[in-house]
Structure 1
Amino acid sequence: MHTLRPALLTDHYELTMVSAALRDGTAHRRCVFEVFSRRLPAGRRYGVVAGTARLVDLIREFRFDQADIDFLRRTGVVDEQGADWLSGYRFTGDVDGYAEGELFFPGSPILTVSGSFAECVVLETLVLSVLNHDCAVAAAAARMVTAARGRALIEMGARRAHEEAAVAAARAAYLAGFRFTSNLAAGQRYGIPTAGTAAHAFTLLHDDERAAFASQVATLGRETTLLVDTYDISQGIRTAIEVAGPELRAIRIDSGDLAVIAQQSRELLDSLGATETKIIVSGDLDEYAIAALAAEPVDMYGAGTAVVTGSGAPTAGLVYKLVEVEGRPVVKRSEQKATIGGRKVAVRRHKPTGTAIEEIVVPQGVPDRRPNDRLLQRSYVVDGESMELPKLDESREHLRQCLISIPWEGLKLSAGDPAIPVTVVPAE
């Protein structure tokens, strides 16, 4: 099976623009493109930057091999001049942006790509594909982490997503604070702790529930998690403790009224002497369902579909727009889709206590820095060379600190204004 290289994970019109720009001589004009959102998804008060490190790796690999060039010639996507240019493509420009794990708001210039028009415009689809997906997943996952109030979460959505998107989603969820993933590819690629034990199929395979539990404990020991809702939950719990003893690490419940069942299960476990056995719940959980279980005796949540689909917002709504040509600001003026020209610099303004109060964005200038301001942009690629990037665990901690810094109203799950305003000020 042929695997597409990053260069063909793009849109037809990007290459036709390159061909036309090469023909008329504008392809090599120095340009600046910016990634930002005009608005947050409905009900959201912040976005989360995720996927930037993945994107930098893909830009490094962005090449057109001979098979790619032959396909583009054969189908008439590019002319000979365009084909020749693409065959030698290497990104030689700069990429700057917000750190992974940084919060963003409408108008935040989260990524800046600068270089020649041709080398930057062909990256548009790749940039937006990565960031729109990963940012959407990370924002949904961050809301779930907040709703969980310190209880652990495991991401288990691989069966509800494209196979590669599932790996990216696991990474974004871990960045947002999930503790485990069920996805082994994510564990291998990114060092994310993996977890999982058995599905209902394993119980149904055996002659009865006791035999299934005995087999699992014999293989994995008492530190395993037994799935107790294949038949009758109460009897499943009793059987689990009879087989594994009160030292059983955890039970998992995947169906029913989880609030009521969690209470009843905790009471039953305690009555059986299994006071330290944890309760894990799963089954179409999103941030609202998790929040509704906050007062119940639940120790860990398993979330799948809602995580990998952005919990109702499967894209972050990011756009990639040209804002500067040869040092000259350019502006799109169409109604509802206007842009602000010029390369932007952004800082996050804080109270002395550390609470974020405002984001300041300056086009074509430098913000008036105050003592508690934090510069938001950093270099990812300089003259085509990738810079050293933070480790995933460092980005995870960065997001945790960012969420602590915003006003508490910004963490509410209810609809409302962005957690902090973004102010665009004129350049000095």
Structure 2
Amino acid sequence: MNAENNSKDTGTSTALMTDMYEYTMLDAALQDGTAGRRSVFEVYTRHLPAGRRYGVVAGTGRILDALADFHLSEDELRFLSDRHIVSQTTIDWLEHFRFTGTIRGYREGEIFFPDSPILQVEGGFGECTLLETLILSILNYDSAVASAASRMVTAAKGRPCMDMGARRANEYAAVAAARAAIVGGFQGTSNLLAAKRYGFKAIGTAAHSFTLLHDNEREAFQGQIQALGKGTTLLTDTYSIEEAVRTAVDVAGPELGGVRIDSGDLGSLAQQVRAQLDSLGATKATITVTNDLDEYAIASLQDAPVDSYGVGTMLVTGSGAPTCAMVYKLTERENSDGVMQAVAKKSVGKASVPGRKLAYRSYHNGVADAEHIISGAEDALAAFTPQQDWRDLLVTYVDHGQSRPEFQGEQAVLDAREHRAKALEEMPINALSLMKGEPVLPTLVRTI
């Protein structure tokens, strides 16, 4: 799982959250004089997880946060030196390292497909290659969670979905997952660090242990209501659900906030509980269901009187697709004569499209019908004029080392969630299907 890249939580900078070969490549490039060659790297995926129809970009805001913390302390430099990972020349180069390049890419919350140029990193080869592992670890995990969350939100058909996955993931990954879930359309999280850091709605009341702590369920409910008020949500499946609902309404009265069901046949139980709550006068009490939910389980409950869903394991594991298989490839570089030259990997099954790229989405009657990727030299792309109905998919995140603040912080996450909703509305209707299928848009790549 990906770690939350924030130095105040991990006790270190983000500069060592990488693979060793990023530093050994830098070392070799500094020694042979190629580290400063202008280069363009691209993040993309060759395919979506099997049967998925689209993906959701998430994590770019966290990349900007990680980039701000990408500098090496004296202790970290000493580690690289003592282990003989890099030479003294490279240690000296790293001592005052700051990324000075430019990063462009899809907006956070944007829909992506195979070969979408999700992120393009431009700068000297040395500074760009150092970012590879960090960028991929963030984008691969966060986008996997956001993509799964989006499918769950679609299945919920307007009922709120809440993140409850903290205990099913690495402690730092749980924070990242909570953020990505919000990008994917979730409404809140049980993770307090995520709620504090990003201003999310925090949710949660009590577990089965609180009921078991007391001599009987009534005393447990009384204690919870005394502390949290009648509007709290009571967990009803420790013993008998029917008896628990009766006790809950008896203790809280008709002002009972809600109940949670965490086991059994959730659909039929929700029907029984709704009828019982209404018969006891608690007509406004809500029903939350949990228990290993995924998009398919949520879809199966669409006719049940459920008010919200709490999702854990399947959310933080990408609902069976815990990575987006994104790669970070060099697509253009300055040659020995100082001229930019498109480059590409040609191995079977892993060939890449050379050159820097533009990306657009075209529409027919207001519905997206294709992704257009335009590859070419810098001057050719600068002169390119897209068709009138094409939407430009790329934004600039970092301009010559300067990050754009509107893509970081609390509001940026909410903006990304809103963007996802709008972008998904533009997709063909079959994008909303949970059945296995091909990507809903073709990706058309053209070199100019």
Is the TM value for this pair above 0.5? yes
Residue of 362, 387, 402 corresponding to 1:370: 387
Query: What CA distance in whole angstroms lies between the structure 2 residues aligned with 1:27 and 1:330?
Result: 17
Select which of 407, 414, 418 maps to 1:393: 414
* Amino acid aligned to 2:98: R
Contact 1:33 1:321 in 2 (8 A): yes
Q: CA deviation at 1:354?
A: 2.2
**Secondary structure of the equivalent of 1:334?**
coil
Q: Distance in 1 between matches of 2:345 and 2:413?
A: 36
Q: 1:404 aligns with which of 425, 435, 438?
A: 425
Alignment match, 2:216:
208
Deviation (angstroms), 1:371:
2.2
Question: How far 1:102 moved relative to its partner?
Answer: 0.3
| Mapped pair 1:20 → 2:28 | yes
Choose from 408, 413, 437 the match for 1:416. 437
Tell me what 2:13 maps to. Answer: 5
Could you say what secondary structure the match of 2:52 adopts?
coil
2:370 match: 358
Q: CA deviation at 1:77?
A: 0.7
Partners of 2:385 and 2:263 in 1: CA distance:
55
Q: 2:108 aligns with which of 100, 104, 121?
A: 100
1:245, CA displacement in angstroms?
0.9
Residue 138 in structure 1 maps to residue 155 in structure 2: no
**Alpha carbons 1:380, 1:389 under 8 Å: kept:** no
Q: How far apart, CA to CA, are the structure 1 residues paired with 2:216 and 2:394? A: 58
Letter of the 1:354 counterpart: G
Give the AA of the match of 1:4: T
Match of 1:81 in 2: 89
Report the residue type matching 2:300 in the other structure. A
One-letter amino acid matched to 1:296? A
Q: Which amino acid aligns with 2:90?
A: G
SS at match of 1:234: helix
- Superposition pairs for residues 297-316 of structure 1, below 5 Å? 297-316=305-324
Matched-pair contact (CA < 8 Å) for 1:182–1:196: yes
* Residue 342 in structure 1 maps to residue 342 in structure 2: no
Which of 401, 404, 411 pairs up with 1:384?
Answer: 401
CA distance in 1, matches of 2:140, 2:104: 17
Name stretches of at least 5 consecutive residues in structure 2 with no aligned partner: 1-8, 335-339
Q: CA deviation at 1:389?
A: 2.1
Aligned-pair distance for 1:3? Answer: 2.1
Q: Secondary structure at the match of 1:280?
A: strand
User: Residue deviations 1:99-137, cap 9 Å, x none?
Assistant: 000000000001000000000001000000110010000
* Counterpart Cα distance in 2 of 1:278 and 1:2: 39
C-alpha spacing 1:161/1:2, structure 2 compared with 1 (3 Å): closer
How far does residue 2 in structure 1 lie from its aligned partner after superposition? Answer: 7.2
**What percent identity do the matched residue pairs reach?**
54
Counterpart CA distance in 1 for 2:32 and 2:124 is 14
SS at match of 1:97: strand
Of 271-280 and 109-118, more deviation after overlay is shown by 271-280
Runs of at least 5 residues in structure 1 that lack an aligned partner in the other structure: none
Q: How does 1:179-258 map to 2 (within 5 A)?
A: 179-258=187-266
Per-residue Cα deviation, 1:211-259 (whole angstroms, up to 9, x for no partner): 0001111111111000000001111111101111122111000001111
Distance 1:411 1:2 in 2: 38
Partner of 2:51: 43
What's the counterpart of residue 6 of structure 2? none
Taking the aligned partners of 1:414 and 1:86, their CA distance within structure 2 comes to: 49
The TM-score, its normalising length taken from structure 2, stands at 0.93
**Distance in 2 between residues matched to 1:28 and 1:2, nearest whole Å:** 31
Give the Cα–Cα distance (whole angstroms) in 2 for the partners of residues 60 and 3 of structure 1: 15
C-alpha contact (below 8 Å) 1:53/1:389 kept by paired residues = no
